[in-house]
Amino acid sequence: MSEQPFQSLEEHFGDLPDPRVVGRCAHHLLDIIIIAICAVLCGAESWDDVEEFGLSKQAWLKQFLALPNGIPSHDTFRRVFSLLDARAFQDGFMRWVEAAFHVEREQVIALDGKRVRGSQDQGNGKACLHLVSAWATANGLALGQRKVQTGENEMVAIPELLAQLYLRGCIVTIDAIGCQKAIVQQIIDQHADYVLALKANQGRLYTDVVEWFDWAQQRDFREVVHDYHQTVNKGHGRIEIRRCWALSDPKALDVLGYHEGWAKLTSLVMVQRERHIGPAQQTETAYFIASLPPDADRLLGAVRHHWRIENTLHWSLDVIFHEDAARFRVGDGAENFAVLRRMALNLLKHHPAKMSLKRKRFKAALDDSFLLELLTQV
C-alpha cells in the first residue's frame, strides 16, 4: 500500500483484530475498512452502496490498496463489519482523531446521547442502538462514542467515554442525566471543568437551586454577590434573548444540603431564554452547576456551545447521512457504521472548501482529486 492517502488510517486501524477465520480471508481487513470509509465519504448509506462504490472506483483504489481478489461483495462488507469488535474500532477512531486533527484545548466538549432508530428489530426483540457521543464544539469534531447497553442508561456509558478523552483544560457539558457526583469527580480528576444541567428529577439539589434563585430574584439580587450577562440575537423573523445569572455566594452553597461530594462546585447558574416570533413569546428557564468561577458571559457561552452537539453533530448525522433511517441490525454493524459516519463527517467539516456537507459528498463521488484532498488533509 502507498503511504498516501491512507497512512494515518493504516497507523490507527492496521492493528485491529481480524474477526475472520485465519487462512480463509480473500480480502485484507484494512482494504475493507478503507473502501468503506471512502464510500461513506462519497454518499454510501448501505453495504450495497459500499460495494457499488468499490466497483466503480476499483481502478482508482488499486493505486493505493492491494485488492488481491478485487472488490469485496456487499455480503462480505456486512459480515466483516458485523463481526468486527466495535469497541476496538471506536478506540482506533478516537486515536485517529486525536492524532490527525488539532483538537483545541480549553474548549467546550459536549456529551449527549442519540438513538439510531432504524437499527431497532422488533421481530427479534432487539432495541435500537443508543450511542453517547463527544463533540468538540470549537473544532466541530466528533471525538468518540460509546454504546449504551440494553437495560442500562447513559450514566454507565458517559464515564467510559470520558475516560478515553484527553480533557485537560476543557469544559465538559452534559445534560441532566450526567449530573452525578461520580461523573463530576471524574471530570475534575481529568483536569477539566464542568457545566452540568439540573432537572426536577434530581430532587433536593434541583429544588434548592431553584428556591435560592427565586429568593434572589425577589430581592432583585440586592446584597447577593453575582454576575449577569445578556445576549440578543435577531434573524429570520425572530428575536432570542438569553439572560444568565451566576453566583458563588457561600450562603447559597451552604443552603444546598446536597452539595457535599460535588467536586469543585463553585457556581450556581440560571439561564433564561426568551424567544419572540411575531406576536408570540416563549420563555424557559434552565439551571446548572459549574466548577467555573461565576463569570456569566463564559458560563452562558458554555451552555450555548453545548447545543452544537444537537444542532451540528446530530443534525448532520440525520439530515446529511440519514442515520435514523439506516437499517443495520446484525451484530456490531450498526455501531461500526456509526463510526464510519463520524469519520466522514470529520473529514468533510475539516476541509476548507466553502460548500455544504452534502455538496462536498457529491463532489467527492464525482471528482477523484477532491476525494484525495479529503483523505490527505490529515
Cα→Cα distances 129→13, 81, 211, 291, 323, Å: 23, 15, 38, 32, 11
What pLDDT shows up at residue 251?
A: 78
SS3 content of the chain, % helix, strand, coil (to 5): 45, 20, 35
Flag whether pLDDT at 246 surpasses 90.
Answer: yes
Cell digits of residue 286: 434552565
What pLDDT shows up at residue 124?
A: 65
Flag whether pLDDT at 40 surpasses 60.
Answer: yes
Sign of CA dihedral 14, 144, 95, 60: positive
User: Would you list the DSSP string of 115-181?
Assistant: EEGGG-BGGGTBPPEEEEEEEETTTTEEEEEEE--TT--HHHHHHHHHHTS--TT-EEEE-GGG--H
Cell digits of residue 58: 476499483
User: Which tops the pLDDT comparison, 331 or 145?
Assistant: 145
Q: What tens digit of pLDDT does each residue of 273-303 get?
A: 998 887 788 899 999 999 999 999 999 999 9
What pLDDT shows up at residue 1?
A: 43
Q: Do β-strands 171-174 and 193-198 pair in parallel, antiparallel, or remain unpaired?
A: parallel
Flag whether pLDDT at 304 surpasses 90.
Answer: yes
Q: Do β-strands 227-235 and 129-136 pair in parallel, antiparallel, or remain unpaired?
A: unpaired
What pLDDT shows up at residue 196?
A: 96
User: How many residues are listed for the chain in this entry?
Assistant: 378
Flag whether pLDDT at 164 surpasses 60.
Answer: yes
Confidence of residue 3 (pLDDT cuts 50, 70, 90): very low
What pLDDT shows up at residue 4?
A: 67
Residue for cell digits 467546550? 108
User: Which tops the pLDDT comparison, 47 or 249?
Assistant: 47
User: Would you list the DSSP string of 42-103?
Assistant: TT--SHHHHHHHHHHTHHHHTTT---TTSSPPHHHHHHHHHHS-HHHHHHHHHHHHHHHS--
Report whether 232 contacts 241 (CB < 8 A).
yes
Mean pLDDT across 135-146: 94
In 3D space, the residue among 189, 212, 190, 193 whose CA is nearest the CA of residue 259 turns out to be 212
User: Which tops the pLDDT comparison, 351 or 235?
Assistant: 351
Flag whether pLDDT at 106 surpasses 60.
Answer: yes
User: Which tops the pLDDT comparison, 157 or 238?
Assistant: 157
Flag whether pLDDT at 79 surpasses 90.
Answer: yes
Mean of per-residue pLDDT scores for the chain: 90
What pLDDT shows up at residue 2?
A: 43
What pLDDT shows up at residue 260?
A: 74
Query: Which residues make Cβ contacts (< 8 Å) with residue 95, sequence separation at least 6?
Result: 12
Cell digits of residue 40: 461513506
Which of 13-27, 197-211, 245-259, 277-291 is the least confident region? Answer: 245-259
What pLDDT shows up at residue 238?
A: 84
* Backbone torsions φ then ψ of 26, nearest 5 degrees: -85, -15
Mean pLDDT across 248-260: 74
Confidence of residue 252 (pLDDT cuts 50, 70, 90): confident
Gap between the Cα atoms of 240 and 304, Å rounded: 12
Mean pLDDT across 18-26: 87
Report whether 83 contacts 20 (CB < 8 A).
yes
